[in-house]
Amino acid sequence: MMKKILTIFCMMALLASCELDQYPHTETTSKDVYVSAANYESVLSGIYTSMIVNLSSISSDDRFQNYTRALLMFQEATTDNMDNVWAAGESTTDLNDLAWTAGDPWISAMYYHIYNIVALSNEFIRNASDDKIASFSDEDRKSITGWRNEARCLRALAYYHALDLFPAVPFVDENDPVGSYVPETYTREQLFTYLESELQELSQPDMLPANLYGHMTQGTASAILAKMYLNAEIYVGKPYYDECIEACKDVISCGYSLADSYHGLFNADNHKRTDEIIFALACNAVNTVAWGAGTYMVCATRFDFDAGMEEDFGVATYWNCLRARPQLVDKFSDGDGRGYFGSRNRAAYTDSPEDGWYKVDGDTKYVYQDRPKEIISHDETTSGWLINKWSNLTDAGETASDTRTVGAETDFPMFRLADVYLMLAEAVLRGGEGASRSDALGYVNLIRTRAFGDASGNISDPELTLDFILDERARELYTEATRRTDLIRFGKYTSGYDWNWKGGVKDGRDVDGRYAVLPIPEAELSANPALKAINTKYGF
């Protein structure tokens, strides 16, 4: 294939223990590792962990070495949801402004992370074939077969992200050779067809665990399928809204329900929200130390102007990184508990605050300074409201870990039931059959009842419109890696809707339509002419 991907494809997820901080080791061979069911389980754990930890095989820069961090940058920092401050240190100006090129390091990071998961999953699946495990006991064969399906679903998730982000990509599976060769380039239509078949099979009973936290489950397979169907008009040019509704109903039938607390879904005890969270990247402060996933959202949204961040958010370190764009803040109405933003800086109380700081009657703990809601520029930290959605506090209000030395304990939910409810509602509004407007309204109002604490925020049938759904998705799912995809589906990403600093100007402007996709990284183009033609077609 291409030089860097070839290295990854030759790498095996060969792990010496079940510890989640282990990395693939090339000095060990498949023959040495795939000798026991325990080792298979350890390898599978390593694939899951590769979506959380930093990988030096992807980049020499820690900030580019995490799958979820790269995904969040494209799904959130390129939209009206949030702005990344570290423009100079992380080369994020191109992302903030929608102005990237094929040489952008974040594009390379996202691309190689996807293919790392594909490569590791392929290697596992190849060594978990029926003939390879024929000598194992019946019980071990059953376990390994189940883990093989989890690896298939992990690979499907990675390929779904490839489908969503890139206009065409190389395709490899367990049947392809390991070594120097040029794989076939799949169009979006081809990759969609492959994923549809794979996920339909994986979503059947007994293929995956029914409900096992942190693992690929039947619900996860159906949720990926639903998201793919909802966006099918973008990917393949025709609607699949009936199919989206069916996939959403399949998820709902797995027995999920909304958690009682919205903010409990984003704290250090969110692993307990198995009622709503369909699939999460399970983070551990010690064993999966990484500067992405839950740690990224907890620490990157904290700023040094907040004297109470450890007490209120369980964070001992501030990264001065992610803040809300004003268009996100303005989508929330009074009483909506999801709109948890910081409009003021805090400092230790003093009787004589500096200019611009003020005291609040009855508060002898802090003095305050108002933050402008509109972002002044990407490379300063004094403007833009703070995002307070994520924390490293337990349900009891205790700090879960010391983020000065280790990561946060907060898991990163990739799929949850509220998203499925909103997908079903949108598919109904777009003409899909299999559920009614009454069903759609009911699901939306379940979400809003939790958000407002009562029925005061519920909407009526005439208020249930596609524009409402787009805004409601922003309110419910901001910072959860969905916004870019949503704006593209609604035709409001590159044109037709402006936000603060879109296109590199303060008030926002339309950008070239090519930015609805990512180019293939420059490093891949010399070895595969088909990929170069893709970039040329899209103007990169």
pLDDT of residue 90: 55
Q: What is the DSSP string of 250-282?
A: HHHTTT----S-SGGGGSTTGGG-TTTEEEEE-
Pair 323, 384: CB distance under 8 Å: yes
- The torsion angles phi and psi of 277, rounded to 5 degrees, stand at -75, 120
Distances (CA, A) of 272 to 132, 223, 241, 293, 489: 37, 20, 32, 17, 32
| DSSP code of residue 71 | H
pLDDT of residue 231: 98
| Token pair belonging to 207 | 């293929």
Residues 6+ apart with CB under 8 A from 477: 418, 419, 422, 483
Is 397 strand, coil or helix? coil
Question: DSSP alpha helices (H): ranges in 399-505?
Answer: 417-429, 437-452, 466-477, 483-489
Low-confidence ranges of the chain (pLDDT < 50): 1-27, 87
pLDDT of residue 16: 29
Give the Cα separation of 428 and 390 in Å (integer).
Answer: 31
pTM beyond 0.85, yes or no: yes
Give the Cα separation of 146 and 293 in Å (integer).
Answer: 26
pLDDT of residue 528: 84
Q: What is the DSSP string of 359-391?
A: --TT--SEEEEEPPSS---TT-SSSS-EE-S--
pLDDT of residue 357: 95
Q: How far is CA 356 from the centre of its chain?
A: 38
Is 399 strand, coil or helix? strand
Which residue spans within 164-295 are E strands per DSSP?
168-170, 185-187, 277-281
Q: Which of 527, 506, 514 is nearest to 166 (CA)?
A: 514
Residues 6+ apart with CB under 8 A from 241: 229, 230, 427, 428, 430, 431, 432, 433
Give 281-284's long-range contacts (Cβ < 8 A, gap of 24+).
281/48, 281/51, 281/52, 281/68, 281/214, 281/411, 281/412, 281/414, 282/48, 282/52, 282/213, 282/214, 282/411, 283/52, 283/407, 283/408, 283/409, 283/410, 283/411, 283/412, 284/20, 284/407, 284/409
Q: How far is CA 183 from the centre of its chain?
A: 27
Q: Which residue has the tokens 């802090």?
A: 366
Q: Give me the domains of the chain, ranges plus CATH numbers.
A: 3-202+516-537 (1.25.40.390), 212-282+411-478 (1.25.40.10), 287-405 (no CATH)
Amino acid occupying residue 29:
T
pLDDT of residue 492: 98
| Token pair belonging to 355 | 């200019």
251: number of Cβ within 10 Å? 28
